[in-house]
Amino acid sequence: MFFYRYNGFNVFINFNYITFGKKLLSRFLLFCLDIQLRKDHYFYTTAVVFFNR
């Protein structure tokens, strides 16, 4: 378990859900960024590299 304080709230995070949430977040971001692919091609590729490392 990982523990930290956020805006006065105590939050517990299971490390197993961090990698799952990272994959889920990456797919969501890739979906959103795919809409703006032609405008933000550089940021799109940067996000792909970041979430796939």
CA–CA separation, 52 vs 23, rounded Å?
9
Measure Cα distances from 19 to 9, 26, 40, 42, 52 in Å: 22, 10, 26, 25, 11
Question: Quick one: pLDDT at residue 24?
Answer: 78
CA neighbor of 30 nearest in space, from 17, 14, 43: 43
What pTM did the predictor assign?
Answer: 0.31
Provide the residue type at 31 as one letter.
F
pLDDT digit string, tens, across residues 2-27: 555 655 555 555 566 667 777 777 77
Question: Quick one: pLDDT at residue 39?
Answer: 61
Question: Quick one: pLDDT at residue 29?
Answer: 76
Share of the chain above pLDDT 70, in %: 28
- Ramachandran angles phi, psi of 37, nearest 5°: -60, -40
Question: Quick one: pLDDT at residue 1?
Answer: 45
Total count of residues recorded for the chain: 53
